[in-house]
């Protein structure tokens, strides 16, 4: 028998060194208590090797029933994850993004399991959660049909009803490769082979189905309640056009059927608001095969765009900005200096001029550096706020192009702010106020995200820590709630991203504030300080709209094409009842135009009801009906898009009314 066996039987002897060691070993065992700090700052003690779910149960059985995952020291973990040391822990439910992603990721595995049951020959690729649901890519001989989706969805419901336990296990890399080869899953083998050789590979098993996966997942398939498969599309393996085209199925799931129904209703409404559809119907923009990803703005679209840009210029002038314009093409040496050549070259368009390499700018920043550097600055000049509506070009893959949301050329409403270190916080706060002012105008609410240092970053640990702390300090000064997005900052600095919510509750990432210590260093930017010596300024990058094109796409869907009067490309449409009113109608057109009101005349020989319906489809804010009675009384019959028939009104009274409405926004 071992010494430890006898010690266990006899107990310990006071002042015995061997017994003391045995006590220490016992204290390190499972019964040792560890301290867990919860999200609200409170602490609880649990036994070592307790799972995240055990902690949830200790807090409350109600929480345990809805818990989906845990965030342990900032990392999302399964409920089955064992805690072995003091830590910070947040239990997440479907109300949290991390909880949703665990829920949707699990549903993607259920879909893959259902497909393998129905189509055993299918090869599995990847199946992640996304911002709204999940997808999975499959290698199949022919595309999935609507009938196939119905069969798959029914099989998924069977798997959910089976309430299969979901188990996690790991294998060494070589065994993992062998395991996936035996299952004849070549895409999984390729994924494993790309992982580091010393990495342990994790798998998740539910019933007969096992998948390569890092997790996290919920505890059993029965936790998934309401599920719907939405669409299918083609997708290149690993997003590379040179690879095989796979079939992707998108889906969504919710803990309650009512939530799923609400989401599906939102999707139907979103289809009606599709900016590509409305952009064509309202004659705002077009896309052509001659320029994939390069949008054409039509006359009405240019009116909308110019109104936005005029508003942008107005508020920036009031906030102390100077506008600049930099070239769309600059030489390769500049892009090496900025770091874009090393970090962004694959997304850049290049050419040669006079045997020298040039690139179309993917970002406006380096041009802004050259403008600052064109003359010497004093500390008294700072902050310098330079704004630019700059056209940039980025090579997006053809499969990712999407109307105005994903294009290959777009105009960023950039600004570069050069400031003293002690001005950083106040400048960030000013930017947050400006962004809030703009989004409030359009009726947007928003959430805020702080993105930290990515892997392929430039600069020292100290510079990044200083930059991240400065952003946090400004957010906290404004009592701004925010979440941290680890590792998603720009390669030259951390950033604050603003996610606006549209009228359907959908999130759009538009505004951003980026703090940059790297560009001023790379471009040797300086200012003369109070001591007469040269010093390095700090630089802030920021956009509010993000890109004019994308923001217009968002506005089209947000308003369903029914823009507020101040923004509408056509604010008033005059409709004649017969030819007899043409002369009077033209006088009204001239009068409205002289007042700065955007107006169109419909004097076609069509019935007035037909003209009204057309104007309604074009979502014109006001229609002015002109008949014999209006001519006699020097008036117009007013019909509003929102309120319907308002009645007859003197033309001067209508002009006062619409100008007052427009002025509210200017």
User: Could you confirm whether 499 is annotated as catalytic?
Assistant: no
Rounded distance between C-alpha atoms, residue 430 and residue 477, angstroms: 12
Which is the catalytic residue, given 78, 148, 413, 414? 414
Of 269, 262, 232, the residue nearest 249 (C-alpha): 232
Which residues have C-beta within 8 Å of that of residue 176, sequence separation ≥ 6?
Answer: 192, 201, 203, 212
Rounded distance between C-alpha atoms, residue 27 and residue 14, angstroms: 17
Which is the catalytic residue, given 300, 305, 394, 550? 394
Rounded distance between C-alpha atoms, residue 362 and residue 569, angstroms: 30
User: Could you confirm whether 414 is annotated as catalytic?
Assistant: yes
Residue carrying structure tokens 């010494």:
3
Rounded distance between C-alpha atoms, residue 576 and residue 179, angstroms: 77
User: Could you confirm whether 423 is annotated as catalytic?
Assistant: no
User: Could you confirm whether 409 is annotated as catalytic?
Assistant: no
Which is the catalytic residue, given 412, 423, 571, 581? 412
- Write out the two tokens for 104: 């949707």
User: Could you confirm whether 506 is annotated as catalytic?
Assistant: no
Of 63, 83, 65, the residue nearest 73 (C-alpha): 83
Which is the catalytic residue, given 213, 365, 419, 510? 365
Of 263, 264, 412, the residue nearest 328 (C-alpha): 412
User: Could you confirm whether 248 is annotated as catalytic?
Assistant: no
Length of the chain: 666
Which is the catalytic residue, given 217, 408, 541, 573? 541
Which is the catalytic residue, given 105, 109, 416, 598? 416
Rounded distance between C-alpha atoms, residue 246 and residue 236, angstroms: 6
Rounded distance between C-alpha atoms, residue 281 and residue 618, angstroms: 8
Rounded distance between C-alpha atoms, residue 602 and residue 582, angstroms: 9
User: Could you confirm whether 531 is annotated as catalytic?
Assistant: no
A 10 A CB-CB count for 196 gives 7
Which is the catalytic residue, given 275, 385, 408, 495? 495
One DSSP character per residue, 84-137 reads: -S-EEEEEE-TTSHHHHHHHHHHHHHHHHHHHHHH-TTPEE----EETTEEEEE
Q: State the catalytic residues.
A: 365, 394, 412, 414, 416, 495, 541
């Amino acid at each position: 028998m071992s010494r430890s066996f006898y010690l266990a039987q006899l107990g310990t002897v006071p002042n015995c060194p061997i017994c003391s060691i045995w006590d220490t070993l016992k204290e390190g065992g499972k019964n040792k208590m560890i301290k867990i700090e919860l999200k609200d700052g409170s602490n609880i003690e649990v036994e070592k090797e307790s799972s995240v779910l055990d902690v949830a149960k200790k807090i409350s059985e109600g929480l345990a029933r809805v818990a989906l995952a845990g965030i342990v020291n900032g990392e999302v973990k399964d409920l089955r994850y064992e805690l072995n040391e003091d830590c910070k822990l947040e239990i997440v439910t479907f109300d949290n993004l991390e909880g949703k992603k665990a829920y949707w990721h699990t549903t993607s595995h259920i879909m893959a399991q259902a497909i393998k049951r129905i189509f055993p020959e299918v090869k599995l690729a990847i199946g992640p959660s996304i911002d709204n649901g999940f997808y999975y890519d499959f290698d199949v001989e022919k595309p999935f049909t609507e009938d196939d989706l119905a069969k798959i969805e029914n099989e998924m419901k069977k798997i959910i009803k089976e309430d299969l336990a979901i188990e996690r296990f790991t294998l060494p890399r070589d065994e993992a490769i062998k395991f996936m080869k035996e299952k004849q899953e070549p895409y999984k083998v390729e994924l494993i082979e790309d992982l580091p050789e010393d990495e342990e590979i994790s798998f998740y098993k539910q019933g007969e189905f096992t998948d390569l996966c890092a997790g996290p997942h919920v505890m059993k398939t029965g936790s998934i309640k309401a599920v719907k498969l939405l669409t299918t599309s083609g997708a290149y393996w690993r997003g590379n056009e040179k690879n095989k085209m796979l079939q992707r199925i998108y889906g969504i799931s919710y803990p309650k059927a009512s939530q799923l129904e609400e989401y599906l209703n939102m999707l139907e409404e979103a289809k009606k608001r599709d900016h590509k559809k409305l952009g064509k119907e309202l004659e705002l923009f077009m896309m052509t095969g001659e320029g994939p990803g390069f949008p054409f703005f039509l006359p009405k679209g240019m009116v909308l765009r110019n109104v936005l840009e005029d508003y942008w210029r107005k508020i920036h002038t009031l906030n102390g900005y100077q506008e600049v314009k930099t070239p769309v093409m600059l030489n390769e040496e500049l892009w090496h200096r900025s770091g874009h050549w090393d970090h962004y070259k694959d997304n850049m368009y290049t050419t040669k001029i006079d045997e020298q390499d040039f690139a179309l700018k993917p970002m406006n920043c380096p041009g802004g550096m050259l403008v600052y550097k064109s003359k010497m600055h004093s500390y008294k000049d700072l902050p310098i706020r330079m704004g630019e509506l700059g056209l940039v070009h980025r090579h997006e893959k053809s499969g990712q192009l999407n109307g105005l949301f994903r294009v290959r050329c777009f105009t960023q409403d950039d600004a570069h702010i050069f400031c003293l270190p002690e001005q950083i916080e106040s400048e960030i706060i000013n930017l947050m106020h400006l962004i809030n002012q703009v989004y409030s105008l359009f009726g947007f609410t928003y959430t805020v995200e702080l993105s930290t240092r990515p892997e392929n970053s430039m600069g020292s640990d100290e510079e990044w820590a200083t930059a991240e702390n400065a952003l946090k300090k400004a957010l906290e000064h404004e009592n701004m709630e925010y979440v941290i997005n680890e590792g998603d900052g720009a390669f030259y600095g951390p950033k604050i991203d603003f996610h606006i919510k549209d009228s359907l509750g959908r999130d759009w990432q538009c505004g951003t504030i980026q703090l940059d210590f790297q560009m001023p260093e790379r471009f040797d930017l300086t200012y003369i300080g109070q001591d007469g010596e040269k010093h390095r300024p700090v630089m802030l990058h920021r956009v509010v709209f993000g890109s004019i094109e994308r923001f217009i796409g968002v506005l089209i869907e947000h308003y369903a094409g029914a823009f507020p009067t101040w923004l509408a490309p056509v604010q008033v449409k005059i409709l004649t009842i017969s030819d007899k009113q043409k002369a009077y109608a033209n006088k009204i057109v001239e009068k409205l135009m002289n007042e700065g009101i955007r107006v169109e005349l419909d004097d076609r020989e069509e019935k007035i009801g037909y003209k009204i319906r057309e104007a309604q489809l074009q979502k014109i804010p006001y229609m002015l009906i002109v008949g014999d009675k209006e001519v006699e009384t020097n008036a117009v019959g007013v019909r509003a898009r929102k309120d319907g028939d308002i009645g007859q009104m003197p033309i001067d009274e209508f002009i006062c009314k619409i100008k007052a409405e427009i002025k509210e926004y200017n």
